Amino acid sequence: MAVIIINPNSTCSMTDAMLAQARRAAPELVFEGWTSHDAPPAIQGTADGEAARAPLLKLVRQASVQGAEGIIIGCFDDTALEEAATIADCPVIGIGQASYHYAALRNWRFSVVTTLSVSIPIIQSNIERYGLGQIVSKVRASEIPVLELEKNTFLAGKVVAQEALVAEQEDSISAIILGCAGMVEVVDTVRSQLSTAVIDPVECAAQCMLWITQKN
Confidence of residue 215 (pLDDT cuts 50, 70, 90): low
- Tell me, yes or no, whether 90 and 186 share the same domain: no
Name residues whose C-beta falls within 8 Å of residue 211's C-beta, 6 or more positions apart in sequence: none
Burial class of residue 8 (count of CB atoms within 10 Å of its CB; 0-12, 13-18, 19+): buried
Same domain, 194 and 208: no
Q: Give the tens place of pLDDT for each residue, 107-130.
A: 999 999 999 999 999 999 999 999
pLDDT digits (tens, 9 = 90+) for 93-106: 999 999 999 999 99
Q: Are residues 104 and 193 in the same domain?
A: yes
Burial of 178 (0-12, 13-18, 19+ CB in 10 A): buried
What's the total number of domains in the chain?
2
* pLDDT per position as a tens digit, 139-181: 999 999 999 999 999 999 999 999 999 999 999 999 999 999 9
Indicate if the pLDDT at residue 92 is higher than 50.
Answer: yes
Confidence band of 138 (pLDDT split at 50, 70, 90): very high
The closest of 169, 210, 154 to 26, measured between CA atoms, is 210
List phi, psi (to 5°) of 141. Answer: -110, 130
pLDDT at 155: 95
Q: Which helix (H) or strand (E) holds 83?
A: helix 81-87
d(CA 35, CA 37): 6
Give me the mean pLDDT over the 12-21 stretch: 97
Decide if pLDDT at 24 tops 60: yes
Question: 88 and 104 share a domain?
Answer: no
Residue in 46, 202, 53 with CA at minimum distance from that of residue 120: 46
Clarify whether residues 110 and 29 are in a common domain.
no
Q: What is the pLDDT of residue 216?
A: 40
Q: What is the pLDDT of residues 46-89, one digit of tens each?
A: 999 999 999 999 999 999 999 999 999 999 999 999 999 999 99
What share of the chain has pLDDT > 70, as a percent? 99
Whether residues 89 and 125 share a domain: the answer is no
Give the pLDDT band (50/70/90) at residue 214.
confident
User: Model pTM?
Assistant: 0.96
Q: What is the pLDDT of residue 1?
A: 82
Identify whether residues 138 and 181 lie together within a single domain: yes
pLDDT at residue 19 tops 70? yes
Q: Which domain holds residue 197?
A: 97-201
Q: Do both 56 and 107 map to the same domain?
A: no
Strand duo 92-94 + 136-141: pairing: unpaired
| CATH code for the domain of 146 | 3.40.50.12500
